[in-house]
Amino acid sequence: MKNLIKYLSIVTLVVFTFSNYASASSPAFVDFNKVLNESIAGSKAQQFLKNKLESEIKKYNKLEKDIRKEENQIISQKKLISNEEYQKKVKALRAKVAKMQKEKRETFNSIGKMRNKAKADLLKVLNPIIKKYMEDNKIRIVLDKSSILLGDSTLDITEPVINNLNKDLKTLKLN
């Protein structure tokens, strides 16, 4: 009988210890894309970058249209002007096209860099928020949802993370 009580108390202690350890070490996951797109600062940054990209596309589409008109005008004047004058206008048009293409490429690269910087800045602010959430809820590991094949939805901490991020960060500086 004494051995049975000893055995049961050891088993109870082991089960209790492992259950506490298992609950304290439960993993969690965050959908970082959702955080980046649905948080206040992230959505404002996305909208700003989208508007900037659209305005630049419109600007360059107008420039391309103007260049095509100029090209057609030069072609229509080919028989009316001397060959040297025609070659000079074609050369000037090619230079104009090359300059526009370079500016366009630089502008779109700049927008891409702004997007990457905004993402990095948001993740810098997000790391301490996730770390605090982990400490408060005794979570030992947080994974990105995109790297998880299947997971219990109760392990998804995306919404609380977004709420905490929205409290701490209202906007990102993009310029």
pTM over 0.75: no
Judging by DSSP bridges, how do beta strands 27-30 and 141-144 pair with one another? parallel
Classify residue 103: in a domain, yes or no.
yes
Pair 24, 138: CB distance under 8 Å: yes
153 strand-pairing partners? none
Classify residue 13: in a domain, yes or no.
no
Classify residue 10: in a domain, yes or no.
no
Residue 160 above 60 pLDDT?
yes
What percent of the chain clears pLDDT 70, i.e. is strictly above it?
Answer: 85
Helix (H) or strand (E) holding 128: helix 83-137
Classify residue 66: in a domain, yes or no.
yes
> Which residues span the domain enclosing 132?
25-168
Classify residue 3: in a domain, yes or no.
no
DSSP 4-70: HHHHHHHHHHHHHHHHHHHHHT-EEEE-HHHHHHHSHHHHHHHHHHHHHHHHHHHHHHHHHHHHHHH
pLDDT at 7: 47
pLDDT at 175: 67
Residue 98 tokens read as 């090359």
